[in-house]
Structures are given as C-alpha cells and as structure tokens.
Chain A
Amino acid sequence: MAASAKHAAWALAPAFAVLLAFWLLPLAHLMVLGAESRDSNGSGYWQVLSSAQYLGSLGQTLVLAVVVTLVALVIGGISGVFLARHQFFGRSALVALLTFPLAFPGVVVGFLVILLAGRQGLLASLGLQLAGERWIFAYSLAGLFVGYLYFSIPRVILTVMAACESLDRSLEEAAHSLGAGHWRVVCDVIVPGLAPALASCGAICFATSMGAFGTAFTLGTRLNVTPVAIYNVFTNYANFAVAAALSVVLGAVTWAVLLLTRRLVKNAGTVL
C-alpha cells in the first residue's frame, strides 16, 4: 500500500501546483502589499486599523453577517426540521423550490431585492395601497439583510434536512413518553442533536455574508460594508496598500470564525 500512496501523491501534484501558483502566492503577495505605505501615511494595515471609517465598515459587516446567520438558522431550522419529518403532497416540489436560490449569484439576489423592496417594487405598491406611502428599503442595510437572508436560508434548510436523517428518533419518543411537551423536546432533544450541523452551516453562512460583494454592488455602492469599501478603495483611489490590507483583515476575520467553529464542532457534515 505504501507504493500506491506514493503514486497517489503524484496525482495531487497538478491541483497543488494550481493552488500554489494562483492562490497561495498571490495571497502572500497581498499580505506583503498590505504592509507597504504610500505618501507617508503609514502601512496599509495601520491606515485600516487607525481609521474610524474602515473599522466602522468592518464592524457593520460583522454585525450584519452575525444577525443574518442567526435569523437564517432559526427560519431554516424550523422549515428544515418540518420538511425532513413530514411526508405530504408536494413536499419534494417544495424542497426543490426552496433550494434553487442556493445557486443564484449575489447580483441576481440584489436585483430580486430591488424587485421586492425597491422604488417600483412589490412592497412599494403594496404600501401605496395600504398606507398611502411607498415602502422602500432595498437600498439600505435592511435591503442587504433581506438579500443575505435570501441566499442563506436555502443552505440552512438543506443542511438541517440532511442532519435530521441521522437524528435518533427514539430519543424524541422517549422524551415524549416521559411527559415532555413539544417545546421541551425541541429545546432539549432536537436542537442539541442538530447543534453540530447548525454550527458548521452557520459558519459557512457567516463567511458568505462577510464576503458577499454582488448583492451590495447591485443595491448601491454607498453601502458601507467591507467588500464595497475594498472595491471603492481599489478602483476609485487606486490605493493598493489599503485595499490589500482591508482584504487581508476581512479574510482573517472570516477564517478565524470558520476555524473556531471547526474547533468547537468536530466532523459535522456541511453543504458547502
């Protein structure tokens, strides 16, 4: 078997070469670039860490990603457990419809939010009919929240449904027979059973929300979230050091959260 493992290592070489040349090296370059300084303003990292604007955008992105993740976990958790536990007419169609949006790119999700809550959107005309004023929130953080929720929920539903399959139902029946009500069973049996899957899926949702550029780009480049800030710094000011430093910081925060979840939860299945 040793010889076969040696042969196998060669099969890894092309993939490793591609990752090394086009991801690891550029990333190392990016980290170095972030430390460069232009016109005596200090290094890119210093400019990012000492500026209220950049730190504010990082904080805002972080809070938004956390809130979206939590809300998506609750909504997707309820629907996912329901869909996994019940058989009824039209169930598979419902599952299919709920999981399609997983493959929609961020730009399209942004456009869908505009159709929902933009100037000519559904809610605007609904508000005009009901309250006499247009309800418009697509171009604000609320719109961004709705958009991020839109592509996070399908992921949670898929993961929860998969995790439910491996849940031991006899535990729930035992809890019921011991007199536990629905809520007790949910809180003490189902949620702890799903916790590893929820945590790792939440981490992926968080990472996606941190880096989601397309949605924010469609909704307007005035939104102060970090991906947009990176884009603005890079294209409008051609300030490569700050753009690189911001990217590195954003990537580091995202990676730290993923790593932390991995430490807390061992071998949980995720839908990437």
Chain B
Amino acid sequence: MKRSSLFVLQLLFTLLVCAFMLVPVLMSLLAGLTRNFFVGLSSGLTFDWLIQVWQAYSPTVWLSLQLALACAVCVCVIGVPAAYALVRMNNRFSRAFEELMVLPVAMPGLASALALLLTYGQFGSFRSSWVFILVGHVLFTLPFLVRPVMAVMQRQQLPVLEEAAASLGAGPIKRFFSVVVPNCRAGILAGVLMVVTLSLGEFNLTWMLHTPMTKTLPVGLADSYASARLEIASAYTLIFLLMIVPLLIALQAISARLSRGERR
C-alpha cells in the first residue's frame, strides 16, 4: 500500500514529538550509569551511582511505597462506596459531589497543601507523622479511582444482578460486597494502579506537607537535583522510573482491556 507524502510528514512530526519526550529520559538513564557524564561514555559504565543513591536515599523509597499502598487502601475504602452511591443516586446532589471531588485535582496543589498546613499544622504529632502527607495524597487521588469504578458500574447489568440478590434475601451490605464489588474488579484495579502511580510521584502537595523525618521519593529527588552531582540525581531518577514504568505498562494493558469490554 502506498502512503501519501502527508502520511510521511505526519509520521515524521510524531516521531519528532516522541524524540522530545524520550531523549531526555534516555539521557537521564545514561547519566545515571556513566562513570563521569562530563567525560562521556568513554569513562565507562558503572552501578556505583545507583548504590550510592540507595545508601543515601533508600528510606525515601520505602516511605513512598508505604504511602502509596496506604493511599490505595484508603481511597478504595472511601472511593468504591462513593462511586456506587454516585451511580445509584444520579441526581443534582451527586453531580455536585462529583464536581467537588475533582476540585482538589484541578486546584493548584500548593494551595491545597497550604490550606491543610495552616489549618492542621498546629497539631504537632499529626503534622510530623506521615499520615499528614497521606491525607493530601488521598484528596488528590480520590477521583482517579472513583471515575474508572463508576464507568464500570454504569456499564454492567448491575441493577439486575442486585435485584436478583435482593429477591433472594441479601441485605444492602451483603449485596454490596458479594455482588457489586466483585463485578467492578477491573475498574477497581485500574483505579488502584493509577492511584499508586500518582501517589509515588506526587510532589506539589508533598513538598509543603513533608518534614525532615518524612521525606518521600519525589522530595528526595528535588533534594538531589538541588544539591547532588548530576550522576547521582540521574541514578535516583532511574530508580524512580524503574518503580513507575511497570505500573504504567500494567495500567495501559488494563485500560485496553476495559475499553475492549466497553465495545463488546
């Protein structure tokens, strides 16, 4: 099949955009593995920088993982029932609530963080614990779980299944856990992956909410960009990318599956 010159032009343009996206990432990977970036590749490849980063910053990695998992659990606990309620109610109040829920994402993160800090900062033990950051992350990631779960709930024959369960004598709570939740597994999984990815990378809120004792991965990254040498910063970025890229690949696979289900 012969392609037009327009096709070639568009392809070149898209490849150029892709290069813009990819070249800096590849440079960062390379810089993290090169002995001396200023000399270039001829200085040899090494894992020394990665090891140094791990020795200096591994607590930030663990804290970020802990935060991301806790955030996913919290968002599931409050988000899945909320999605169910929003789908079931579908009235003016529920639509207003949807708007409200998205606002913390649309608003500048710094403003939300400042508001939290000025309101709850005086409670010392709350302020200095990692739970303070968790609150910010839950606010920020909530819609990213509720949206996909709502999409799945709207599509399935859920009301029919629920009615069947009700006619067999299942109460509302039993129906929720044995009919609604199992039928939305794919949406919940997609949402959880997104929440974990976002929580691992959240900086705008976290920078204001963190204390020297509660440094997350992106906070550590900002530290290393400001003060460490380029190779260390790159190696640290490499570790971060290694953590989120598998999540992103899984996310793309799941959303492809979800959209296939939509068309069926």
Binding site for B on A (CB under 8 A): 4-5, 7-12, 14-16, 18-19, 22-27, 29-30, 33, 75, 78-79, 82-83, 86, 88, 94, 96-101, 103-108, 110-116, 120, 122, 150, 153-154, 182, 204, 207, 210-214, 217-218, 227, 230-231, 234, 240, 243-244, 247-248, 250-251, 254-255, 258, 272
Contact = CB atoms under 8 A, between A and B. Distances in A.
Nearest to B25: A112
B85 interface: yes
B118 A26 contact: yes
Contacts of A94: 14-15, 18
Contact of B248 (A14, A103, A231): A103
Interface string B13-32: 11101101111110110010
B81 A108 contact: no
Contacts of A10: 85
B108 A251 contact: yes
Contacts, number: 237
Contacts of B59: none
Given A105-B201, A122-B23, A247-B111, A204 B106 contact: yes
Contacts of A103: 197-198, 201, 244, 247-248
B24 A258 contact: no
A33 B97 CA distance: 26
Interface stretch (B50-58, B65-73, B182-190, B217-225): B217-225
22 contacts: A11-B84, A12-B86, A14-B81, A15-B79, A18-B78, A23-B139, A82-B13, A86-B10, A94-B14, A97-B21, A103-B247, A111-B233, A116-B24, A120-B37, A153-B20, A213-B204, A227-B204, A230-B111, A240-B118, A247-B108, A255-B103, A272-B105
A12 B97 contact: yes
